[in-house]
Structure 1
């Protein structure tokens, strides 16, 4: 069954790119040129080599760094959604938890004056705790009153949006009405050696935090009794209760861990990429993109890593595809939407594959 799901996810990606090629042809663009530009923009194809460039400079260029930068936040939001899915919950409030975590991280980063080795970790920990606490309320309401977490978490998104809007203007106002105060350099997750390694990209320590989170989530879910209990509650509440598991506690903890991952995504984005919070735009799109990443990644931590890499590649390369091949950036969103659509219809594809296997075996037996 797991092999079938992997094949379905791979098929969804292939179909997404095929439909994207058809759209390019229909709008008068060359698909080969378009996808070549996409890969160049993401740093996978060499488009310029300067005199004196080493193989490291060519392979680990700024555009590839930007792909990793785009991927980093998606890994964490995808993990947040996937962890909740695996424990029987649908955390659609990742955007709000990410925003709250990012605000707390920015507050600590802007207001405190500490050495880097204390300041940056403290800001990240504050963001993680903020995301976890923000997710605790939907978890409690689900555990105590069986109120569906989709309703409460999506409402919490808008509460977080307007709370942060108010708190930024009240306690963390920057140079402009729509921006928070910029964090101190000691709280930033950017480090010079990484920037230099990727020739000026903003890729930062958050990349390593995201990779560590992938391994940690996999270990919790697959190798610990705690993870087994969380998944068991998600599969069957009544059987878990009969087996003596603390169902309500596990629901709340699962939601809080999911929120903690979202809060870490907020830290990585607002401390490592933007350095402040802009309150004019809507909720962070990465929170909702995490749902697509989790779906395509089959709610598996390593699948999420691969799916976020694919989406990061497409987002990073879309601008160059537009400027070099004239293909609208919106096409990338169309391709992602198609991939998600085909991933969501996985049951249909699986039934087709099973039927094909049965026909194949029957024909083989007839021979």
Structure 2
């Protein structure tokens, strides 16, 4: 007589038991937390930054300080002075960046918007480069160096060769993109082959690029203008300059069309191409991507090539569009570091970066108007930008301020373990 079958389910896992994936690296987890928020958090972060900026404007305003001296006798004067200071500053910001309704005709009134788009163009493409690296799990903070090398390459082609109109501009743009891609590719190659951290590599290469370009600008026969004492390049030839989109009265040039095309390209690359799928897979978890058969080392090289090329395009915008009269070693204008802010605000999504670049371009264009008409220091705008990034990087803080539910929590789904004995029953 056979022994009775045991009715107790075995705890031995079978093939139906879910297998565990390699643990995600901590750096990638932090990066996903920063870039994985939603639109509401972004809007509220901007609102909070503007609110705190308004407090700073009020505290530094002389009329508010004077009215505060007799606050308890006439408090309405203090509140009126605060309103006038804050509203006047933000109205000036709007007039200097979007639309100046004090102008007589529409074409003149809309000119501030074209200035905003001009400032935003290099920020957007640089932010696309930084954001793409973020999606692969890499911190590309070498935008300054990549922009400088690209500017040197595009500028050299722009003033050294006499080519037909159209061809000259295309060759100069390609030279700049290749220069930025080469400088970024060095980082990817060293990380892939030696395991060196990209943050250290990009910081050091920023210094190498700066001093290399500064040396070439001081050396006759390289980048220095003939007969020029100061370290500055010759002006670009007319055939290598981005043409104006709306005439000489406006700063916006045809390079902004390249910005739109670059945004579409990055969106397609990340969301519709097989290479973009590998980029995102490595960014989510390089260990799991390696187990799936992906060549993670080559992905790092490809990502830095594309990222450096996009940042190089930002340098091209500066040399062939914004400052075509000759450039110095400060041609990057801090855009390489501002691009990190733009990429974070845009959540490393192409169209989010596009919108964030326009917002920061508006801050830059309107900041001068605030200072000129209201006497507000331009530093206040920088503080507002920094606060935006602070709140973007801390979604729990924004949720706590506005009493929002934590939308990241998900109910865990448990998968029962099915054994052979239970399946047989």
Decide: shared fold, TM above 0.5: yes
The alpha-carbon deviation at position 348 of structure 1 amounts to 4.0
Tell me: CA distance 1:356–1:181, structure 2 relative to 1, closer, same or farther (3 Å): closer
CA distance in 1, matches of 2:287, 2:39: 30
From 17, 31, 45, the counterpart of 2:50: 17
Deviations 1:49-94 (A, max 9, x none): 1xxx4x4x156x3322111100101001110110000011110001
Contact in 1 for aligned 2:243/2:253 (Cα 8 Å): yes
Structure 1 regions of 5+ residues with no counterpart?
359-367
CA distance in 1, matches of 2:167, 2:382: 39
Contact in 1 for aligned 2:318/2:332 (Cα 8 Å): no
Map 1:197-216; keep pairs closer than 5 Å: 200-216=249-265
CA distance in 1, matches of 2:208, 2:325: 20
CA distance in 2, matches of 1:326, 1:350: 34
What SS does structure 1 have at the residue aligned with 2:38? Answer: helix
Map 1:267-346; keep pairs closer than 5 Å: 267-279=316-328, 281=330, 284-346=333-395
What SS does structure 1 have at the residue aligned with 2:328? Answer: coil
Which position in structure 2 is the counterpart of 1:182?
235
The alpha-carbon deviation at position 278 of structure 1 amounts to 3.7
TM-score of the aligned structures, taking structure 1 as reference length? 0.90
What SS does structure 1 have at the residue aligned with 2:404? Answer: helix
Contact in 1 for aligned 2:180/2:312 (Cα 8 Å): yes
From 77, 89, 95, the counterpart of 1:34: 89
CA distance in 1, matches of 2:281, 2:130: 17
Residue 76, structure 1, aligned to residue 125, structure 2? yes
Contact in 1 for aligned 2:315/2:332 (Cα 8 Å): no
The alpha-carbon deviation at position 4 of structure 1 amounts to 5.1
Which position in structure 1 is the counterpart of 2:314?
265
Structure 2 regions of 5+ residues with no counterpart?
1-32, 65-84, 410-425
Tell me: CA distance 1:64–1:357, structure 2 relative to 1, closer, same or farther (3 Å): closer
Which position in structure 1 is the counterpart of 2:224?
173
CA distance in 2, matches of 1:12, 1:241: 37
More helix by share: 1
- How many residues align? The count is 348
Contact in 2 for aligned 1:106/1:276 (Cα 8 Å): no
Tell me: CA distance 1:345–1:4, structure 2 relative to 1, closer, same or farther (3 Å): closer
Residue 115, structure 1, aligned to residue 164, structure 2? yes
Map 1:4-153; keep pairs closer than 5 Å: 5-28=38-61, 30-49=85-104, 53=105, 55=106, 57-58=107-108, 61-153=110-202
What SS does structure 2 have at the residue aligned with 1:353? Answer: coil
CA distance in 1, matches of 2:111, 2:198: 40
The alpha-carbon deviation at position 331 of structure 1 amounts to 1.0
**What root-mean-square deviation, in Å, do the aligned CA atoms of Structure 1 and Structure 2 show?**
2.1
CA distance in 1, matches of 2:318, 2:218: 20
What SS does structure 1 have at the residue aligned with 2:103? Answer: coil
CA distance in 2, matches of 1:263, 1:288: 14
Tell me: CA distance 1:357–1:243, structure 2 relative to 1, closer, same or farther (3 Å): closer
Which position in structure 2 is the counterpart of 1:362?
none
What SS does structure 1 have at the residue aligned with 2:163? Answer: coil
Q: Larger radius of gyration, structure 1 or 2?
A: 2
The alpha-carbon deviation at position 353 of structure 1 amounts to 3.0
The alpha-carbon deviation at position 187 of structure 1 amounts to 0.3
CA distance in 1, matches of 2:200, 2:397: 28
Tell me: CA distance 1:135–1:277, structure 2 relative to 1, closer, same or farther (3 Å): farther
The alpha-carbon deviation at position 176 of structure 1 amounts to 4.2
Tell me: CA distance 1:73–1:169, structure 2 relative to 1, closer, same or farther (3 Å): same
Tell me: CA distance 1:8–1:172, structure 2 relative to 1, closer, same or farther (3 Å): same
TM-score of the aligned structures, taking structure 2 as reference length? 0.78
